[in-house]
Structure 1
Amino acid sequence: MARSVYIHIPFCQHICPYCDFNKYVLKGQPVWHYLEALVQEMNLTFEQHPPQEIRTIFVGGGTPTALNPEQMRFFLEAVARYVQPQAPCVEFTVEANPGTVNEDLLQVMKEGGVNRLSFGVQSFDRGLLKKLGRIHTTEDVHQSLALARKQGFNNLSIDLMFGLPGQSVDMFREDVEQALKLDVPHLSAYSLKIEPGTHFHRLHEQNKFHLPPEDEEATMYELLIKRMTESGYAHYEISNFAYTGYESRHNLTYWRNEEYYGLGAGAHGYVQGVRHVNAGPVHEYIEKVAREGLPRVEVHPVSKQEAMEDMMIMGLRTKEGVSRLVFRERYGLKLEDHFGRQLDQLQAKGLITTDGERYWLTEKGLFLGNEVFAAFIGMH
C-alpha cells in the first residue's frame, strides 16, 4: 500500500542547460489552470485508490517555489484536503531554488504543513554557477536558508554537483567546505550526467563541452565522502548524507522499492503493482485531466521478477542494503535461491558484502555501483 506521494510542479523561472526534468519557463504558463487540473487528479486518484496513512509528501519540479503565495496556498489547501485528510504526514518536503523564497511564501508553506525544504545550490563558485545556467548567487543561498530558519524550518537539505566542466578537485573541495559551514542536516551530491535532449548534450555532441577526467571525478567523490563523514554525517545512500534522524524518508520509499502516488505533469507513480507515467506537456496534461480524468500516457503492470530486480538495484544504493528477511516476506522466495549467482560474483569481486542478514555495497562497490546494478538488470 502506497504511503508516500510525489507531486510535480513543472514551472521554472529559468531553464538550466543540464536539466532533463519535465519543466517549462513560468512566464506565460497557465499556472492556475494547471493547479486546478492537479486538484482534479488528486481527487480522482484518491477516490480510486484511497490512501491509508500518508507518511511522506515530496513536491518537486521544476521549481515549486516559483508559485506565488496565493497559488501556493491554494495548492497546499488541496493537499490537506485530499492527500492528508486524517493527520499531518511525518515528512513534507518542497524543493526550492535559492533566491526564490521570501517571508510570505515561507509562511504560507509553514502554515500549509511543509516541514522540510530542499534547496538546489549546486555550487558556490560564481563561474560554475554561470556555466550551469543558475541565476542565484552564494548570497542568495545564505539569505534563503536564514529566512527559512527564521520561519521555523530546521529540516533543510541542499544539493551539490561535481564533475562539472572546468571544475577542479580544489574547486569542489571549496564547495564542500562552504556547504559544511551552512550546517544543514542533509546534503545530496550528484555528478553531472549529460542527459539527451539538454543543451549540454547538444554541446557535448559538437565537442564543445568537456567534463573532468573520470579519475578526477572519482577523487571528488572520495573527498566528499571523507569530509562529510568526518563532519558527523552518515553516508546513508550513494549520493546522500544526513545527520542521524534527518535521512530523506521520502526517497527511502524509492530506494526500498515501496509504492507511492505520483501526481502532476510528467509524474511517475507506483500503486497496487502498477507503474504509470503522466502526460508531460502542461497543456496536454490539463486537457487529458479534463477529458479522461487521469492523465496517463503509460501504464505498466510490474511483474514479480521485475519487482525483485528493482528491489536489488534500488536497495543496494543504500547503506542499509537489501534485507534477506524483507525479500522473503515480500516475494516468498529466498534471496540466494533467486539471485545467488549474481551475489556470489559480486562478492568475489569485492563489490558487495553481507553479515548474513543483509547485503550492501563495499567501499569499492560505491565507486562501481553501475557494475553492481547492471548484474540485476534485464533478467525478466
Structure 2
Amino acid sequence: MTTGVQSNKGEAPKAVYIHIPFCTNKCFYCDFNSYVLKDQPVMDYLRALEREMEYTVTQNPPGEIKTIFVGGGTPTVLTPKEMEYFLKSVRTYFPNWADDIEFSMEANPGTTDPEKLAAMKEGGVNRVSFGVQAFQNDLLTGIGRIHNTDDVYRSLENARKAGLTNLSIDLMFGLPNQTVDMLAESVTKALELGLPHYSIYSLKVEENTLFHTLYQKNQLPLPNEDDELQMYLLLMQRMKEAGYKQYEISNFAKPGYESKHNTTYWRNEDYYGLGAGAHGYVGRERHINIKGISPYIEAAQKGLPRLESYSIAKEEAMEDFMMVGLRMLDGISSSRFTHQFGLKVEDVFRGPLNKMLNAGLIEKVNDGYRLSEQGILFGNDVFSEFIGVLTVN
C-alpha cells in the first residue's frame, strides 16, 4: 500500500480519473484495459470501485474537484440504474465540486439512450466525448466498430435533448484503406455538427491487438507516410478555417472549450486514478491498479487494489513536464516549471532547448517554449529530446 502523501505543494489533487472497463466488443486497434460486457459482474465492479474511492479519500482527502473524467472501455454500456449508482458513489466520496467543474464521460454512439443520458445529466456529467472515428460505415466495420453514422447523429441529438451541450467527438486518421478524400469527408461531416470540441488521432498499431497481428503478417493496408502527412495537414487547415484552435497536437476547440481534464495531464499535475488498470499520480508518486476484473474486485475488498506504486524522481518529473507539456500548442510555462521544481527550465534543459531552437522545431514565447509550425509535424522527435536526459546513470 502506498504512503499517505499529499501533492508536491501540499495541495490535494483537483482531478479524478475513473475507469469503467466494459465494452460491447473489442475494437481491432484497442489496447486499453477493456473487457467485453457479456457475463461480467458489473455491480460487483461498481461496489469495488466505491470501496477504492473510500480508501483513496481516507488516505488522500480531496479538496475542491475541478475535473472528473470517466473513461474506458465504454462507460455508457452501464444501464441507467448502474449509472445512477456509480454517479452517486462519485458524489459521495468527491463531494466538493468547483462551480465550473468539467465532468466528462466517454461514450460510444448507439450506447446512449435518453434514459441513460438523463441519469448522466442528473448525476453531474456535463461533457460527453463520443468515439465516432470515421463517417464511412465501411471504414467503421473495418476497424471493429459496431456503430454506424446514423447512430452518431441519433446519439448527439439525444444528448442535446437531455441538456448536454458540451459535446466532443473523436476521429481517427491513418486507418486501413482510408484515403485523404475519406478523411476530408469525415472532417466536413464532423464540422457540420458544430460541436465545441474535436479530438483527431492518428492510428497507432499497438501490441496485443488484432491490427498488430495483421501488421506483422503484412496484411494491414495502411496509408503511406505521404498520405498520412497530407491527412494531418488537411485536418489542421480545415479546423483552423472553421474557427477551432488547435490547443494540443490532436485536439481542437472553440475558445473556452479546451479539455480541462486532459490539460491536467499535459501540465503534469496530480490526479486520482480509480478503477481496474487505472493510473494515478499524487505527491510525485505514480500507481497502476490491478487490471483484471475479478482480481480487482477481490483486491478492493482488502485495501487499495494496487498492481504497483513507485515514487517519481524529481529528474523524471521534470522530463515528464517537458515531454507532455510541449504537446500543448501554447507550450510549457517557465514560471509553472519553477513553481513545481524550484529551478529554472533553462538551467535544467539548456542542451535540448538550444538544439530544438536551432533546428527550428520549438520557439521561445513570453513565459516559456512551444512547438513551431514545423515542430508540430515532428512532435515525437522533439519530445524524445527530453527523455532520459537527466535520468541517465
TM-score, normalised via structure 1 length: 0.98
> Take 1:302 and 1:38, find their aligned partners in 2: how far apart are those partners?
25
Q: Which runs of 5+ in 2 are unaligned?
A: 1-10
- Tell me the CA shift for residue 323 of structure 1: 1.0
Name the residue aligned to 1:36.
47
> Take 1:169 and 1:86, find their aligned partners in 2: how far apart are those partners?
43
- Tell me the CA shift for residue 311 of structure 1: 0.5
- Tell me the CA shift for residue 272 of structure 1: 1.3
Give the AA of the match of 2:273: G
Q: Which runs of 5+ in 1 are unaligned?
A: none
- Tell me the CA shift for residue 378 of structure 1: 1.3
- Tell me the CA shift for residue 88 of structure 1: 5.9
Contact kept? 1:13, 1:26, Cα under 8 Å = yes
- For 2:198, what is the secondary structure of its paired residue? strand
- Tell me the CA shift for residue 89 of structure 1: 5.9
Name the residue aligned to 1:127.
138
Find the partner of 1:270 among 256, 259, 281: 281
- Tell me the CA shift for residue 115 of structure 1: 0.2
Name the residue aligned to 1:145.
156
**How is 1:1-380 mapped onto 2 (pairs within 5 angstroms)?**
1=11, 2-85=13-96, 90-291=101-302, 293-379=303-389, 380=391
Which runs of structure 1 show a deviation greater than 3 angstroms over 4 or more consecutive aligned residues?
Answer: 85-89
- For 1:152, what is the secondary structure of its paired residue? coil
- For 1:171, what is the secondary structure of its paired residue? helix
- Tell me the CA shift for residue 355 of structure 1: 2.3
| CA-based RMSD | 0.9
- Tell me the CA shift for residue 358 of structure 1: 1.2
Tell me how many residue pairs correspond in the alignment: 379
TM-score, normalised via structure 2 length: 0.95
> Take 2:218 and 2:299, find their aligned partners in 1: how far apart are those partners?
40
> Take 2:196 and 2:354, find their aligned partners in 1: how far apart are those partners?
37
Identity %: 56
- Tell me the CA shift for residue 288 of structure 1: 1.0
Contact kept? 1:54, 1:89, Cα under 8 Å = no
- Tell me the CA shift for residue 44 of structure 1: 0.6
Contact kept? 1:23, 1:61, Cα under 8 Å = yes
- Tell me the CA shift for residue 85 of structure 1: 4.2
> Take 1:44 and 1:69, find their aligned partners in 2: how far apart are those partners?
26
Contact kept? 1:88, 1:113, Cα under 8 Å = no
Task: Summarize the Cα distance change of 1:86–1:171 in structure 2 as closer, same or farther, 3 Å threshold.
Answer: closer
Give the AA of the match of 1:263: L
> Take 2:77 and 2:168, find their aligned partners in 1: how far apart are those partners?
18
Give CA deviations for 1:336-376 in whole Å, capped at 9, x if unaligned. Answer: 11101100100111100012421000111011011101100
> Take 2:17 and 2:348, find their aligned partners in 1: how far apart are those partners?
31
